[in-house]
Amino acid sequence: MLKNRVKEMRARHSLTQSDLGKQVDVTRQTIAFIEKGEFSPSITLSLKLAKALQVDVNELFWLEGEKEDEK
Amino acid sequence: MKNDIRVTYPLWMMGFIALLGVIAYGINSPKTEFIDTATETSLTVQIGPFESALIFGAIFVYLIVLTIFVSKVKQYNKNNPQQKISMFSIRPPEYLEADEGMTYITRWAVQKVYTFYSLALPALATVVIILPIPRLLIIYAILGLAFTQYGIYYAEVRKHFKEETE
């Protein structure tokens, strides 16, 4: 399962789900789905999110049980 | 988004199906008498007062609900010119495809509906073939399938919109 820290990074940048959604051209609901882990975004959207949140994509997303201890 | 017409569309359809069920009962209840002799040919249709009230009442309510629905769709199209709903489109308007997250939710819901039909349709066909079921019951069974289809779709989509937080 894909884990993420989108919510954490979004809060760090003081962005709402709507703000982030607008930046990466998706709806607020999709950001909420990603944060809740209900939906694994495509590589394109993952890269867009990483760019918007100014982090490396590997810091934003990782596979459960792989690098979780490091996060 | 919860009150978006694309999200609530299945509920509207469930309402229309329920009204169709009432109309179907009214239309199927008349007693008909067909006389065809050498001297007389006539068809008599008798509708009881209760059934008449049911048919016309249901048609009246249907038209009111339809008017409200059409005005809601027009309002939606005005507010969302990029994602207009066409009343005559073959593609179901309840499909949420604004982005990949919405498409994922839609696909998930459609898969559940497909699973339902893959079981329910053969089961219904078998029952209808084996048992001497009256016409009205077959109509209700078909309407029931459609009603359940929208129920499954709506429940699945709604589940993902629960506990929305900023």
Of A16, A18, A33, the CB nearest to B101: A33
CB of A15 within 8 Å of a chain B CB? The answer is: no
Q: For residue range A5-55, list pLDDT tens digits in order.
A: 999 999 999 999 999 999 999 999 999 999 998 889 999 999 999 999 999
Q: Quick check: B121 and B130 in contact, CB under 8 A? A: no
- Which residues from B are below 8 Å from A17, CB to CB? 165-166
Q: How far apart are CA A66 and CA B98, in angstroms?
A: 32
**Could you tell me which of B113, B142, B135 has the C-alpha nearest to residue B10?**
B113
| Interchain contact, B100 vs A28, CB within 8 Å | no
**A47 in a structural domain:** yes
**A71 in a structural domain:** no
**A15 in a structural domain:** yes
**A69 in a structural domain:** no
Q: For residue range B84-129, list pLDDT tens digits in order.
A: 888 888 889 899 888 999 999 999 999 999 999 999 999 999 999 9
Type and span of the H or E element at B17: helix B5-28
**Could you tell me which of B54, B55, B25 has the C-alpha nearest to residue B134?**
B25
**A59 in a structural domain:** no
ipTM of this predicted complex? 0.82
Total Cβ atoms within 10 A of residue A3: 16
Query: Tens digit of pLDDT per residue, chain B (166 long)?
Result: 667 888 999 999 999 999 999 999 888 877 777 788 888 888 787 778 888 888 899 999 999 999 999 999 999 999 988 888 888 888 898 998 889 999 999 999 999 999 999 999 999 999 999 999 999 999 999 999 999 999 999 999 998 887 555 5
Q: How far apart are CA B9 and CA B12, in angstroms?
A: 5
Count of domains in chain A?
A: 1
Optimal mutation site among B82, B83, B100, B164, interface A, most CBs of chain A within 10 A: B100
- Chain A: nearest CA to B21, how far in angstroms? 35
- Which residues from B are below 8 Å from A28, CB to CB? 1, 166
Backbone angles phi, psi at A26, to 5 degrees: -135, 170
**A11 in a structural domain:** yes
CB of A26 within 8 Å of a chain B CB? The answer is: yes
Host domain of residue A18: 2-54
- Which residues from A are below 8 Å from B158, CB to CB? none
Q: What CATH number did the domain enclosing A18 receive?
A: 1.10.260.40
